[in-house]
Amino acid sequence: MDFDLTEEQRLLKDSVDGLLADAYDFDARKKYMKERGGWSKALWGRLAEQGLLGLPFAEADGGFGAGSVETMIVMEALGKALVVEPYLATVVIAGGFLRHGGSAEQKAKYIPDIIDGSKTFAFAQLEKNSRYDLYDVVTAAKKKGEAYVIDGEKFVVLNGENADTLIVTARTKGGQRDKTGIGVFLVPADAKGITRKGYPTQDGLHAADITFTNVEVGADAAIGDPENALPLVERVADEARTAICAEAVGAMDESLKETVEYIKTRKQFGVAIGSFQSLQHRAADMFVALEQARSMSMFATMASDFDNAKERSSAVAAAKVQVGKSLKFVGQQSIQLHGGIGMTMEAKIGHYFKRLTMIENTLGDTDYHLRRVSEGGGLLG
């Protein structure tokens, strides 16, 4: 049992923290968000240069063969700096599909472009009525000879507007909520029959609603078994959930720091408001919430090594519950302790609150995951 980082992991942490300290203060972030597409290609290039985009890929595929702990380190740093570039969509999610389900040809075709930063990806999964159930899929992929024809609508696809390639869940067989008959397809974003309606999200990212009308892809577009890819989707979703738990821990950590700093300096009644016990106790409770979330983020990260898929996903769901509760408390109280200034778009603290809030509703909210753990028989086994 060990919770320390290895020497290499510490170096990684220092290097990503260093890069973001240098290139990603709040003003820089605002500048990046105004660039075309809403994020910085130059910054993305620097992430590539430092090897961060190739981290989780096998050395044979040109990556560094890093594990879940390294992803946690990077995501936590991205959370601290409120990074808007599409690391989650491209490296964690698309990378996850390629690593766990991709054929040799698919890996060779797509992974190098992720690693060198030349291409980004998006995961088109959410549908009008699917909510958080990954198996609730209406979008159809109908077989036409060797090819598939995709028809349907996907919503709030992160990085969907900018991505070069979409990873699409679509039904090859069965009814809307059947757990079998789901496929995952690599679809060029400029394929004929695709329309994308892009928009910014509440937390400063970009997403798109995407319509697929008779979009034809080859048989080689399917990742894994086109008739039974749900286990793959769930595995990648668990990795993505674990990653955003770490991102939330980074964002909460920084929110608490900013808030403590603020109440130490803000004066009312002639004294720093941080000298008032009601505020001190609130800050102490925020610290408790943060540490409990950090523990569960580590738990989910280490659970990726669990052999048993049920145990793994129940650990991740439990982490999402704890992180969801903690982020709501830390986020809301950060605003409260900042007072009026916390309500302004100009102050950084509100942007942490907004990102944290959106993380709760990504890939299953607190209630959703609580139900999952509960229906699975609890956590004590």
Return residues touching other proteins (CB under 8 A): 1-5, 69, 256, 260, 263-264, 274-275, 277, 279-281, 283-285, 287-288, 291-296, 298-299, 301-303, 305, 318, 321-322, 370-371, 373-374, 378-380
CA dist., res. 58 & res. 49, Å (int): 17
DSSP 226-278: TTS-HHHHHHHHHHHHHHHHHHHHHHHHHHHHHHHHHHHH-EETTEEGGGSHH
Minimum CB separation from other proteins for residue 277, in Å? 8
Minimum CB separation from other proteins for residue 311, in Å? 12
Neighbouring C-alpha atoms within 13 Å toward the C-beta of 208? 22
Minimum CB separation from other proteins for residue 298, in Å? 6
Q: Report the residue number, 234 or 311, with the smaller CB distance to other proteins.
A: 311
CA dist., res. 307 & res. 317, Å (int): 16
Q: Report the residue number, 64 or 368, with the smaller CB distance to other proteins.
A: 368
Q: Are 327 and 248 in contact (CB under 8 A)?
A: yes
Minimum CB separation from other proteins for residue 18, in Å? 21
Q: Phi/psi zone of residue 131: left (φ > 0), alpha (ψ -120 to 50 degrees), beta?
A: left
Q: Is 171 helix (H, G, I), strand (E, B) or coil?
A: strand
Minimum CB separation from other proteins for residue 60, in Å? 25
Q: Are 298 and 3 in contact (CB under 8 A)?
A: yes
Q: Report the residue number, 33 or 283, with the smaller CB distance to other proteins.
A: 283
Q: Report the residue number, 154 or 372, with the smaller CB distance to other proteins.
A: 372
Q: Report the residue number, 71 or 120, with the smaller CB distance to other proteins.
A: 71
CA dist., res. 38 & res. 29, Å (int): 10
Q: Report the residue number, 65 or 200, with the smaller CB distance to other proteins.
A: 65
Q: Report the residue number, 270 or 277, with the smaller CB distance to other proteins.
A: 277
Minimum CB separation from other proteins for residue 337, in Å? 11
CA dist., res. 88 & res. 376, Å (int): 27
Q: Report the residue number, 215 or 349, with the smaller CB distance to other proteins.
A: 349
CA dist., res. 32 & res. 380, Å (int): 45
CA dist., res. 254 & res. 237, Å (int): 26
Q: Is 210 helix (H, G, I), strand (E, B) or coil?
A: strand
Q: Report the residue number, 336 or 344, with the smaller CB distance to other proteins.
A: 336
Tell me the two tokens of residue 111.
């992974």
Q: Are 185 and 209 in contact (CB under 8 A)?
A: no
Minimum CB separation from other proteins for residue 21, in Å? 21
* Nearest Cα to Cα of residue 346 among 356, 357, 338: 338
Minimum CB separation from other proteins for residue 87, in Å? 21
Tell me the two tokens of residue 35.
């660039």
Minimum CB separation from other proteins for residue 131, in Å? 18
Greatest C-alpha distance within the chain: 78
